[in-house]
Amino acid sequence: MVYRNSLRIVVDILTIAKDSDPEKGVGITTLLRKGNISYSRLSRLLKDLVKCGLIEEVNAERGMRYRISEQGRQFLIAYYRFEEFAQSFGLRL
């Protein structure tokens, strides 16, 4: 069994946000379900991601939703590029 590190969890959350509706974003329930992460940890993570500018908060009728920012997209591009590089050495990021 391979455990996810914190970087991998961030990437998973960003990927879920990227694959969702680019205008409306994604709700916290979907992030919890698809991200396979606890509510408290996700709340803290989302706060940090918004602070860093990787994710944007969108006010919706039924609560807060989240969508990936341009900076978040750039981060994902960089991550996948360097993940390939590290895997060439047989390493995980």
Partner 1 sequence: MSRLLGKEGFNTSHLGILRGAKALSNLLVAEGVLALIAAFIGLSIGYISLSGYRETSSPALLRLAAAFILLFLGFTFEALAIFGYVGVLPLLALATASFIIASSLLETLGFFFLAFSYILNVRATQRTLAMPLILPLSQTVVQISAALKSISFYLLVYASVETAIAYMKTRRVETLVLSFGLIFLAVSELVRWISYVEFSWPFWYSVSLSLKVIGVSTLLAPIVKFVSLRRCVVRNGV
Contact set with partner 1 (CB under 8 A)? 7, 15, 18, 73, 75-82, 84-93
| Dihedral over Cα of 33, 38, 44, 45: its sign | negative
CB of 63: closest distance to partner 1 in angstroms? 27
What residues contact 8, with CB distance under 8 A and at least 6 apart? 93
Query: In the complex with partner 1, which residue's Cβ is closer, 39 or 82?
Result: 82
Q: Which residue, 5 or 29, has its beta carbon nearer to partner 1?
A: 5
- Strand (E) positions, the chain? 26-27, 55-60, 63-68
CB of residue 16 to partner 1, shortest distance in Å: 13
